[in-house]
Amino acid sequence: MNHTVNRRRQRLTCSFLVQDDQEFLAMQLYTTPALIKRRREVLVRSRRAGVDIHYVGTMPLFEGYRLHRGRTVDWVFVNGADDPLLLARDGLPIPLATLRRLHRLRQNGVAFDAIYLAHEIPRGALRAGAPLTREVLLPPPPASVQRLSATLGRVSGMLWGVAMAPLLLSGVLVGTLVSGVALPVVGTDPILFGAVVDPRRPLRVGDPAALFYLDHWAYNAYEDV
Amino acid sequence: MRRLTLNELLERAMAYEHWRAPLDPTLRRAALASGGSIGLALLAVWFLPDLAGLADTPFMLVLGTFYGDMLDWLGRHRALLLGSIGVSACAYLLLLTLTGGFRAGQPGRHWATFGVVAIGALNGCVLAVMAAVVLVNLVLVLLLAGCILVLLAGIGRVLYHHRR
């Protein structure tokens, strides 16, 4: 039930990201027969791979990011090549289930000319025109790793308690050190898109591209996987 | 035009389940304390010959033999101890850098931090035993000195009254 509601919400978000934009609507006029053919090929191959993806609309290719203001949250629609999470050393965290879907697509010859991501961020977390930083998109840390760390922390405390027993017995107190610092947690729930263009044309900013919804995930939902 | 392909995305992506998370505050404190104990252990083993001389002094009222035997054993394995503590210190510094001062890391680094904590606690235990023996003797020497002072004061007082 929750999954269905979530999927419906993501479809609405995809529509909001693409169809609310006048420039995107105008792009439908520039769809060429070759692009329509390529679009169908992608859908056929993905079905053969057993991966459910769907065509969202035609949009102009862009670099950098576009900020969409929502009622409760904002969306950063960003070219994968400019996504600060993908440029960072730690990379973009993607749940294993989604990675498996993407690997299946690749193995079945589904190729996209460009990848776009839509990151959900708290309302007002990013000013229009401000540089998109990694801190704005950083997801919450996985709960399973946090639980592991807490267990190791408890055992470490006990180890040090035993190690210091001789000193404690002789009446010396051991002080504590500085406290831990948590990571900033801002971004949640990304949506992944693949874009294909007319194969006869070189890739240029502003050219029409068929946009496909590939997958989405909520980091909190995957914490216990 | 700048772009990212599916292949590039899969190369740069990381499984969220194995992504980095902040270290538990207790684990971090224990890791920082371990750094101190590894450093102290390195110094203690380095200056072991000087410490060994302490066992033969009259300062050691109790547990002198135990202390001497322990230092003797440590002295016989000094090269091995220096090497292993040196390697531990290097691993500690590397982990300190990789985790940004034991703040966050991938699951493997949480385990590695725990390993460093275990080594630190082991070093800390040996240092604590040594320090406890010295401390007990120090307290005994101070108590003895106090008793002698009280006794001398008492004798002095008796002699003073006797002379008057």
∠ Cα A126 A132 A137 (to 5°)? 75
CB contact under 8 A, A219 and B16: yes
**DSSP H/E element including A136:** helix A134-137
Q: How many residue pairs from chains A and B have C-beta atoms closer than 8 A?
A: 203
Query: B1 exposed, middle or buried (CB, 10 Å; 0-12, 13-18, 19+)?
Result: middle
CB contact under 8 A, A148 and B110: yes
Q: What pLDDT does B35 receive?
A: 92
- Give Cβ neighbours of residue A199 (< 8 Å, ≥ 6 apart): A34, A38
CB contact under 8 A, B117 and A160: yes
Identity at B142, one-letter amino acid code: L
Pairing assessment for the beta strands B13-15 and A92-94 based on DSSP bridges:
parallel
Rounded Cα–Cα distance for residues A162 and A168 (Å): 10
pTM of the model: 0.64
Render B51-118 in DSSP notation, one character per residue. Answer: HHGGGGSTT--SSHHHHHHHHHHHHHTHHHHHHHHHHHHHHHHHHHHHTTTTTEE-HHHHHHHHHHHH
Q: Predicted ipTM?
A: 0.74
* Nearest chain B alpha carbon to A170: B132
> Which B residues in the span 131-160 are in contact with A, Cβ-Cβ below 8 Å?
131-132, 135-136, 139
Q: In a mutagenesis test of the A interface, which of B11, B14, B17, B113 is the best target, namely the one with the most A β-carbons within 10 Å? A: B17
Cα-based torsion angle of the residue sequence B106, B108, B109, B115 in order, rounded to the nearest 10 degrees: 160
The crossing angle, in degrees rounded to 10, of helices B78-98 and B64-76 is 80
Rounded Cα–Cα distance for residues B89 and B70 (Å): 23
* Nearest chain B alpha carbon to A88: B12
The first and second tokens of residue A111, run together, are 């190729």
A111-157 pLDDT, tens per residue?
Answer: 899 999 998 888 888 888 889 888 888 888 888 888 888 889 888 88
CB A13 within 8 A of CB A191: yes
CB contact under 8 A, A112 and B5: yes
Nearest CA to A89 among B106, B40, B141, B88? B106
- Tell me which chain A residues have a C-beta less than 8 angstroms from the C-beta of B37: 163
3-state DSSP of A50-72:
CCCCEEEEEEECCCCEEEEECCC
Rounded Cα–Cα distance for residues A15 and A56 (Å): 7
Q: Which residues of chain A have pLDDT under 50?
A: 1-3, 5, 25-26, 172-186, 223-225
Identity at B74, one-letter amino acid code: L
CB contact under 8 A, A181 and B118: no
CB B12 within 8 A of CB A99: no
The residues facing B84 across adjacent strands are: none
- Tell me which chain A residues have a C-beta less than 8 angstroms from the C-beta of B39: none
CB contact under 8 A, B135 and A170: yes
- Put simply, whether A29 touches B (Cβ < 8 Å) is no
- Put simply, whether A91 touches B (Cβ < 8 Å) is yes
Nearest to B128 among A91, A166, A183 (CB): A166
Nearest CA to A111 among A212, A218, A8? A212
CB contact under 8 A, B4 and A159: no
Query: B61 exposed, middle or buried (CB, 10 Å; 0-12, 13-18, 19+)?
Result: middle
Mind telling me how many Å the CA of B143 is from chain A's nearest CA? 15
CB A179 within 8 A of CB B25: yes
Identity at A177, one-letter amino acid code: L
Q: What pLDDT does A104 receive?
A: 94
Rounded Cα–Cα distance for residues A48 and A176 (Å): 59
Nearest to A150 among B2, B24, B111 (CB): B24
Residue whose tokens read 């750094």:
B35
Mind telling me how many Å the CA of A109 is from chain B's nearest CA? 11
Q: Which residues of chain B have pLDDT under 50?
A: none
CB contact under 8 A, A93 and B122: no
- Put simply, whether B47 touches A (Cβ < 8 Å) is no
- Give Cβ neighbours of residue B142 (< 8 Å, ≥ 6 apart): none
Q: What pLDDT does B92 receive?
A: 93
